[in-house]
Chain A
Amino acid sequence: GENVEQHPSTLSVQEGDSAVIKCTYSDSASNYFPWYKQELGKGPQLIIDIRSNVGEKKDQRIAVTLNKTAKHFSLHITETQPEDSAVYFCAASMGNTPLVFGKGTRLSVIA
């Protein structure tokens, strides 16, 4: 089955700097790659996703890139703000299979 590895497990950045979180997946048939953000005491929430026919997608300060050849995808957050502090999860799926999540990255933005 699919396996998703996520790095780093923790990340601290200064406010205003950029943050990058990387994930690799094992099954080349995976074609959907969402990112979820989980704030303290809440459930994860979708922040951006990308499909296999697209190499990059942006939404304001957030961007995701996908390299299908290398089987890895990354989340980029620019101009980080304190409210970006949370746990971020990448995930992968192929068609009607359940999302397989990475183990998460705890991002701390230091003011």
Chain B
Amino acid sequence: KAGVTQTPRYLIKTRGQQVTLSCSPISGHRSVSWYQQTPGQGLQFLFEYFSETQRNKGNFPGRFSGRQFSNSRSEMNVSTLELGDSALYLCASSLSGQVVGGELFFGEGSRLTVL
């Protein structure tokens, strides 16, 4: 069974640009969550999508957005990039979403560097 696939794995952007990251969940999983991982802050929740609907949203500015398609694949977009957006962006899929006891299956992440 294929795991969670994130693309691209690495990318470099400059301030002011925008970026789109993609996540393909495990087959059959309807929930996709996104987390930002930085050395100082650990894993910070961005948002969760379930059956194409945003179910939860973290405390990030409106420059961070996402969506989910009918095949459960998800994208997140960051506009007007800032230096502080440099991070590893992790996508996690789950069968029933972020409910009690619902295991999250993480991808290997997309490492974004903003210059």
Stretch at the interface among A60-68, A69-77, A99-107: A99-107
Most chain-A Cβ atoms within 10 A of its Cβ — which of B90, B92, B100? B100
Instruction: Say whether, besides A95-B100, A96-B98, A44 and B43 are in contact (CB < 8 Å).
Output: yes
| B 19-40 binary contact with A (CB < 8 Å = 1; else 0) | 0000000000000010100001
Residues of A within 8 A of B4 (CB): 43
Considering the chains assembled together, what is the distance between the CA atoms of A68 and B42 in angstroms? 24
Instruction: Flag if B100 contacts A51 (CB, 8 Å).
Output: yes
Residues of A within 8 A of B98 (CB): 93, 96-99
Residues of A within 8 A of B103 (CB): 34, 46, 49
How many B residues are at the interface, by size bracket?
Answer: 20 to 34
Residues of B within 8 A of A41 (CB): 108
Interface residues of B in 93-108 (CB under 8 A from A): 97-101, 103-104, 106-108
How many A residues are at the interface, by size bracket?
Answer: 20 to 34
The distance from the CB of A35 to the nearest CB of chain B, in whole angstroms, is 12
The distance from the CB of A21 to the nearest CB of chain B, in whole angstroms, is 13
Residues of B within 8 A of A98 (CB): 33, 45, 48, 56, 58, 98
Instruction: Flag if B58 contacts A45 (CB, 8 Å).
Output: no
Out of A32, A49, A101, which one reaches B42, CB within 8 Å?
Answer: A101
The distance from the CB of A30 to the nearest CB of chain B, in whole angstroms, is 10
Instruction: Flag if B106 contacts A31 (CB, 8 Å).
Output: no
User: Interface of B with A (CB < 8 Å)?
Assistant: 4, 33, 35, 40-43, 45, 48, 55-56, 58, 90, 92, 97-101, 103-104, 106-109
The contact sample of 5 A-B pairs, CB cut-off 8 A, is: A6-B42, A32-B100, A43-B109, A89-B43, A103-B40
User: Interface of A with B (CB < 8 Å)?
Assistant: 6, 31-32, 34, 36, 41-46, 49, 51, 89, 93-104
